[in-house]
Structure 1
Amino acid sequence: MAVLSRRWRRLPGLLQRLVIDAREFEPAALRAGGHARTKRAMERVAGAVESLLPGDRAIERLRLDAYLLRDESYTVRRVVERLNDAVDSGKVAAGGLELVFRATGGGGAPDQDQPSKRQARRLARLLAAAASPSLLPSVAELSLVNLRFTSPALASLLGRCTGLEELGMYQSDAGFGAVLDVGHARLRRLAVHAVDEAMYKKLRVSSAPRLERVVVANWFCRYAPVSFGHVPCLRELHLKNKAVYYQEP
């Protein structure tokens, strides 16, 4: 990794878009899944961010797909601090960040079942404490996977991402019966997967003047899954109801 980083150090500055995905950094030598595998992957991601971002030219788009570890946030903090440096110094163009945060389960593997309250709480605290004032406004795309926030924490996080163009909530929520309010001036695409009373009572899009596409998947609750305010550019609405024939609605 270190040799390749030195050898190709000038390459990122020649690219319009750079993708750093933790899933591609999982060590092949660790056959079993679990915490050791995801932790090693995130250590490598932190090293890649530190070695690849310094350069003479700004990267137009940087996509970072990161695991949130179950027992510590130091590695994720390292990544956030390097992103701070990259945005503040202009090494990543303004509005050029695409961030994906994935919870890991009790064994360290990506959790496909229950959203994680602990990892959502740690992420919210970390971004509140460590993110520079210019970091979250530079996030154009944000995806949250298997995370359960409190309503105030999620509202604060989304409210600071003022430049959002795309938002994805995948098995991520703000607790039982919450109403998810979305209203971003630049938002074009919105996807919310798993909408039921255990996650959201309703998705409410108050004002999104550029919004073009909305996907609400796995809807199964007693309420209309989404309501709209000012969305003059909306062209596509995809609703998926997971109820079977004898269930409501």
Structure 2
Amino acid sequence: ACRESTKSKSAASRRGSKGSRIEMVAPRGRRSPSGPDRRPQAGGGERSAGGAAASEQKAAARVSVNQPAPPPKFNAGADRISALPEHLLLEILERLDLREAVRAGALSRRWRRLPKHLSRVDLDVAHFQGATPLEAMDAFTGAARSLLAVVPLAESSALKSLILGFYMPSPPHLSTIGRLVQDVVSLGQTECLEFCISLPSPSNTVPQRAEIGRQFMSFCQAYPVAFSWLTSLALERLAFGHSDITELISSCGRLRRLTLRTCRLVDLPFVLKIDTPCSGIQELKFLCVGCTRIDLISVPKLRQVVCHSWISEKLPLHFGYVPELRSVLLDSRAMAW
């Protein structure tokens, strides 16, 4: 009996201990988050990581919209100027002296044809070196030929302004210049055409200057298209007949400015008469002109007259029909008697 009671007590104790162990186990729904059986929810970390990545992408997109793209990277030896479009390269050349623009054209095959597309060409024989004036004119006409050779209209930009300064006399050179200028103005896009013509030596005699003056008038008559587009003309150290200047102005329909520097008349009386009722000339300059009187008989569009250092004791200017004249500038050195 003692042994049976002892067995029943041990079995009861075993059941009590087993029941107590069951009570200590918490239900699944009430498991403490800090308990030893805590496990991360499946997919929760992945969803949070994906959301963070999406937020970063949106932020990067906003930054890329608000900030400009970084500049392209060039190699240290890359030619950035030649990579520019042609209209920008022409803008650069337009701001250079013509000699520098021509030299720049020799840098590469692409640059070589750009000077022919300049909208302004200013070419002066004084820029060319030569042992004689003839050699200087050879270099001048060669440069003019390379710059003014007409390219097809589809490829050419308009030559708006052409300024040429050259020597007289030189018939072969004059014919080259006349043909080149006529080819350019025949395109109908030239707005400014200027000639500055002088003698290479100031020591010419009066008969020599008169002969050169006649050659100039023949040059004007041989290329009427070129002279009809002329807007400004400056003549230095030439001698003319009484009616040459009137004929010259009348043949240059677009002429607006005429300058006579140290020019003179050939025969007595030394009276320069200008009678051009149909011309549009607006400015006349007489600088050290060898004549006793200047008669402006009819110059209806004339607005300004400049007279400097005349040879007579009295004012040489005599005004006829000049209804639009606004300015008269007189300048002469004092004379002692």
Does 1:25 pair with 2:119? no
Pairwise CA distance, 1:43: 1.1
**1:42 aligns to what SS in structure 2?**
helix
Pairwise CA distance, 1:64: 0.5
Does 1:122 pair with 2:222? no
In 1, Cα distance between equivalents of 2:168 and 2:299:
30
Does 1:39 pair with 2:134? yes
Does 1:67 pair with 2:167? yes
| Higher mean C-alpha displacement, 219-228 vs 5-14 | 5-14
Classify 1:134/1:241 alpha carbon distance in 2 versus 1 (closer, same or farther; 3 Å): same
Identify the match of residue 98 of structure 1 among 194, 207, 222. 194
Letter of the 1:203 partner, please give it. Answer: I
In 2, Cα distance between equivalents of 1:151 and 1:227:
16
RMSD: 2.5
Classify 1:158/1:112 alpha carbon distance in 2 versus 1 (closer, same or farther; 3 Å): farther
Alignment-derived partner of residue 16 in structure 2: none
TM-score under structure 2 normalisation?
A: 0.59
Alignment-derived partner of residue 49 in structure 1: 144
Letter of the 2:215 partner, please give it. Answer: R
In 1, Cα distance between equivalents of 2:203 and 2:301:
32
Pairwise CA distance, 1:214: 1.1
Q: Which has the higher contact order (CA 8 A, sep 6+)?
A: 1
Classify 1:163/1:83 alpha carbon distance in 2 versus 1 (closer, same or farther; 3 Å): same
In 1, Cα distance between equivalents of 2:331 and 2:204:
19
Alignment-derived partner of residue 203 in structure 1: 294
Classify 1:159/1:216 alpha carbon distance in 2 versus 1 (closer, same or farther; 3 Å): same
In 2, Cα distance between equivalents of 1:218 and 1:188:
21
- Name the count of aligned residue pairs: 222
TM-score under structure 1 normalisation?
A: 0.78
Classify 1:158/1:205 alpha carbon distance in 2 versus 1 (closer, same or farther; 3 Å): same
Gaps of 5+ in 1: 31-35, 106-110
Alignment-derived partner of residue 108 in structure 1: none
Identify the match of residue 80 of structure 1 among 150, 157, 178. 178
| Higher mean C-alpha displacement, 199-208 vs 165-174 | 199-208
In 2, Cα distance between equivalents of 1:122 and 1:169:
17
Classify 1:26/1:226 alpha carbon distance in 2 versus 1 (closer, same or farther; 3 Å): same
Gaps of 5+ in 2: 1-98
**2:146 aligns to what SS in structure 1?**
helix
**1:216 aligns to what SS in structure 2?**
strand
In 2, Cα distance between equivalents of 1:174 and 1:158:
16
In 1, Cα distance between equivalents of 2:205 and 2:275:
23
Classify 1:179/1:62 alpha carbon distance in 2 versus 1 (closer, same or farther; 3 Å): same
Bigger Rg, structure 1 or 2: 2
Identity %: 23
Equivalent pair of 1:211/1:233 in contact (CA under 8 Å): yes
**2:254 aligns to what SS in structure 1?**
coil
Alignment-derived partner of residue 33 in structure 1: none
Identify the match of residue 332 of structure 2 among 233, 238, 241. 241
In 2, Cα distance between equivalents of 1:100 and 1:112:
19
**1:221 aligns to what SS in structure 2?**
coil
**2:174 aligns to what SS in structure 1?**
helix
| Mapping 1:116-155, distance limit 5 Å | 116-128=209-221, 130-131=222-223, 133-155=224-246
Alignment-derived partner of residue 186 in structure 1: 280
| 1:135-177 CA-partner distances (Å, limit 9, x unpaired) | 2111100111000022244432222112111000001133241
Letter of the 1:163 partner, please give it. Answer: R
Classify 1:219/1:154 alpha carbon distance in 2 versus 1 (closer, same or farther; 3 Å): same
> When you count strand as a share of all residues, which structure comes out higher?
1
**2:292 aligns to what SS in structure 1?**
strand
Equivalent pair of 2:167/2:198 in contact (CA under 8 Å): yes
In 2, Cα distance between equivalents of 1:112 and 1:86:
35
> When you count helix as a share of all residues, which structure comes out higher?
2
Pairwise CA distance, 1:233: 3.2
